[in-house]
């Protein structure tokens, strides 16, 4: 009984100690952790991650169609809108003429910038002038430097021009108030968009209702991705549509032939995220002219067919011949472990095999020569065995041979005479048959002697 009670007490003590340890660990975790809510942006996926997805939805809602192309071939249909944002669209010189003819016949061209190449788009009407902001900043800096250098030159010439009125020194910039103790300067949030109001020119055609104000918002981090240019209307022509404010013009549409050309000073809000800011959806619809039944093409990159596929479609036969030649050359260069054909034995041939082989070769290549040799062999054998054989004609020779052979050997005289003189158009089989008959007669003569 004593040992059993001691075991029970020990088990309860271990359980109590484990409970205290779990309580201390839980308290330490609770005191050293904090629950904080973090907002995370859900990245688009699927079709929503594709470029111009939001713009396509806006065009569909307006009753228009939007297509993304990778080249200018073929050209868009007449009276369509082409947003040309590709940097390599003028890779081929004839594209500029095609683009001009397309606009002249009713097309609407939208450009992000006027090309600086002097050989492209020279046909555009001179209704606007682009001035980069960098050049304007350089001019303002040069003017400020000249203004700061003017008082120094005036002090140097003070003795020479005493009658000149004294120049006022430039006002000193007001010092910024020092921060209060404990106050920290808050840096500007790069994700906070900066908005500006844009209105349509009163003399131009309104895209929607007249007098509408558009809010254009850009994040500070997006300024570097846009083109820093300014559009200034030219006094020689009047634009059809002008969008801007008191400081600058944002978009301008000018006529050309039966069509028109729209030029932008900055980026077109066409990205999926950018269309959600301000009135960017309305601005994009106004710039592209989205309306019911309209067709819009976007060319933002140049992509062609891969070289292997192009070669297969354009030069299939030469490509197959070249591949076959390469395969044959590689097959000939493959190392082999033995000869292509089995080596013949080195045993010596008998005289009969040599003669038969030579006869078979001559019969296969030139049976007439073999026939002449057989006739000569028959004449030599008969000349020593038949008296006066050389002075007889062919019929008499055959008769003498038959008399020499005797009645025991049957000799077809007509067949032997035909065998001695076969026709010039005889086939190889006929030549061989005549040779065999003459050889039989020769051997019969040799046996009879």
Range name among 132-146, 262-276, 327-341, 348-362 with the lowest pLDDT average? 132-146
For residue 353, what are its two tokens?
């095999």
Q: Name the DSSP letter for residue 266.
A: S
Q: Where are the domains of the chain?
A: 48-133+190-304, 354-448
Q: Cα–chain-centroid distance for residue 372?
A: 73
What are the two backbone dihedrals, phi and then psi, of residue 401, each rounded to the nearest 5 degrees?
A: -65, -40
Q: What is the pTM of this model?
A: 0.52
Q: Cα–chain-centroid distance for residue 174?
A: 60
pLDDT surpasses 70 at 188? no
Model pLDDT for residues 247-278, shown as the tens digit of each residue: 778 888 888 889 998 888 877 888 888 888 88
Angle between helices 394-405 and 413-420 (to 10 degrees): 130
Residues near 240 by beta carbon (within 8 Å), at least 6 away in sequence: 204, 205, 253, 254, 255, 260
Give the ranges where 113-227 is alpha helix by DSSP (H).
Answer: 133-156
445 vs 167, residue with greater confidence: 445
SS3 403: helix
Please name every residue paired with 216 in a beta bridge, in sequence order, or none if there are none.
Answer: 196
Q: Measured between alpha carbons, how far is 301 from 135 in angstroms, rounded to an integer?
A: 28
For residue 69, what are its two tokens?
């192309």
Task: Read off the pLDDT of each residue in 415-429 and give the average, rounded to a whole number.
Answer: 85
Q: Is the dihedral angle over the CA atoms 237, 238, 244, 250 positive or is it negative? A: negative
Burial class (CB in 10 A: 0-12, 13-18, 19+), 1: exposed
Supply the pLDDT for residue 163: 37
305 vs 74, residue with greater confidence: 74
Supply the pLDDT for residue 157: 42
Q: Measured between alpha carbons, how far is 279 from 201 in angstroms, rounded to an integer?
A: 17
Element (H or E) spanning 362, and its range? helix 351-365
Model pLDDT for residues 80-94, shown as the tens digit of each residue: 999 988 877 777 778
Go through 81-115 and write b for each residue having 16 or more CB atoms within 10 A of its CB, e for each that does not.
bbbbbbeebbeeeebbeebbebbeeebbbbbbbbb
Task: Read off the pLDDT of each residue in 143-151 and give the average, rounded to a whole number.
Answer: 49
> What CATH class has 48-133+190-304?
alpha beta
Task: Read off the pLDDT of each residue in 344-350 and give the average, rounded to a whole number.
Answer: 72
For residue 280, what are its two tokens?
């960017």
Cβ proximity of 39 and 68 under 8 Å: no
Element (H or E) spanning 59, and its range? helix 53-61
Burial class (CB in 10 A: 0-12, 13-18, 19+), 68: middle
Please name every residue paired with 196 in a beta bridge, in sequence order, or none if there are none.
Answer: 216
Q: Name the DSSP letter for residue 121.
A: S
For residue 60, what are its two tokens?
């569909």
Q: Measured between alpha carbons, how far is 438 from 401 in angstroms, rounded to an integer?
A: 12
């Amino acid at each position: 009984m004593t040992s059993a009670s001691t075991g029970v007490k020990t088990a309860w003590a271990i359980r109590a100690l484990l409970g205290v340890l779990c309580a201390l660990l839980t308290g330490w975790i609770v005191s050293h952790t904090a629950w904080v809510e973090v907002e995370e942006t859900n990245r688009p996926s699927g079709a929503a991650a594709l470029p111009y997805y939001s713009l396509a939805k806006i065009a569909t809602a307006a009753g228009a169609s939007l297509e993304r192309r990778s080249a200018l071939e073929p050209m868009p249909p007449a009276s369509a809108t082409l947003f040309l944002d590709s940097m390599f669209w003028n890779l081929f010189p004839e594209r500029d003429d095609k683009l001009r003819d397309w606009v002249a016949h009713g097309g609407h061209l939208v450009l992000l910038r006027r090309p600086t190449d002097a050989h492209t788009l020279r046909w555009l009407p001179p209704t606007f002038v682009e001035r980069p902001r960098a050049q304007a900043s350089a001019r303002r800096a040069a003017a400020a430097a000249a203004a700061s250098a003017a008082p120094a030159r005036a002090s140097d010439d003070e003795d020479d021009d005493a009658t000149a009125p004294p120049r006022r020194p430039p006002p000193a910039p007001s010092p910024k108030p020092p921060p209060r103790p404990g106050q920290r300067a808050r840096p500007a949030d790069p994700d906070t968009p900066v908005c500006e109001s844009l209105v349509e020119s009163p003399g131009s055609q309104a895209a929607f209702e007249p007098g509408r104000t558009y809010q254009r918002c850009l994040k500070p981090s997006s300024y570097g991705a846009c083109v820093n240019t300014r559009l200034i209307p030219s006094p020689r022509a009047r634009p059809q549509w002008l969008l801007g404010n008191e400081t600058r013009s944002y978009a301008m549409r000018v006529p050309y032939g039966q069509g028109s050309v729209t030029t932008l000073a900055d980026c077109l809000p066409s990205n999926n995220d950018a269309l959600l800011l301000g009135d960017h959806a309305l601005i994009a619809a106004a710039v592209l002219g989205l309306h019911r039944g309209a067709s819009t093409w976007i060319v933002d990159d140049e992509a062609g067919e891969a070289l292997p596929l192009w070669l297969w479609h354009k030069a299939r036969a030469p490509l197959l011949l070249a591949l076959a030649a390469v395969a044959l050359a590689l097959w000939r260069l493959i190392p082999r472990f033995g000869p292509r054909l089995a080596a013949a034995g080195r045993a010596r041939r008998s005289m009969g095999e040599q003669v038969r082989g030579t006869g078979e070769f001559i019969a296969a290549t030139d049976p007439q020569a073999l026939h002449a040799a057989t006739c000569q062999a028959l004449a030599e054998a008969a000349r020593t065995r038949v008296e006066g054989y050389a002075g007889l004609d062919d019929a008499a020779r055959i008769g003498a041979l038959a008399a020499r052979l005797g009645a025991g050997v049957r000799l077809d005289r007509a067949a032997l005479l035909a065998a001695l003189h076969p026709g010039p158009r005889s086939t190889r089989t006929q030549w061989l048959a005549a040779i065999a008959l003459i050889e039989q007669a020769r051997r019969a003569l040799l046996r009879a002697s």
